Structure 1
Amino acid sequence: MREVTPVRPRLAETLRVLEGLLLESGQRTARRNAWSAVVENRSRARARSEAAHVLEAAAEGTSTGT
């Protein structure tokens, strides 16, 4: 009977697999960071809009009251 030896992956294949795993993780992180930036930008835009409404209301109140 012939002895079966386990096949060892070549170094290039191993590195390619490792690179794929590392890049996949990096892409996940990049997407998470991008989404956090979108959420923060929306929050700032909402706050700016609310502040603009308050300032407009205050300006209308002072100009009509005088």
Structure 2
Amino acid sequence: MQAAPVRATAIPSFTDALRAVESLLMSSGQRTARRNAWNSVLEDRRRAKDRVETQRVLEGTLDEAVTSRLP
């Protein structure tokens, strides 16, 4: 008669448990940081587009002012 195999599972240490919790929290933090960074990129692109459009309008206005003063 053979003995039944014994399955032993190591109980994680307190340090291992803290590391697991930390990794879960940090992964969420990384997602938030990436989302914030991407939102910043999109906002920078929007502002750059607005600057270009403003510059075009100002240059067009200046051109009209200069040409209207020509004899």
- TM-score interval for Structure 1 and Structure 2 normalised by the shorter chain: 0.7 to 0.9
Could you list the per-position Cα deviations for residues 12-66 of structure 1 after superposition, in whole angstroms to 9, with x for gaps in the alignment? 1100111111111101000000000000000000000000000000000011111
**Take 2:60 and 2:19, find their aligned partners in 1: how far apart are those partners?**
61
Structure 2 gap ranges (5+):
none
Q: What's the offset of the Cα at 1:8?
A: 2.4
Q: 1:4 and 1:62 mapped to 2: Cα distance?
A: 88
- Equivalent pairs: percent with the same residue? 42
Tell me the number of residue pairs that the alignment of Structure 1 and Structure 2 aligns: 66
Across the aligned residues of Structure 1 and Structure 2, the Cα RMSD in angstroms comes to 1.7
Structure 2 CA distance for aligned equivalents of residues 56 and 35 of structure 1: 32
* Partner in structure 2 of residue 53 of structure 1: 56
Query: Among 13, 23, 28, which residue is 1:25 paired with?
Result: 28
Unaligned runs of 5+ in 1: none
Structure number with larger C-alpha Rg: 2
1: CA distance, partners of 2:39 / 2:26: 20
Task: State yes or no: 1:34 paired with 2:37.
Answer: yes
CA distance in 2, matches of 1:62, 1:49: 20
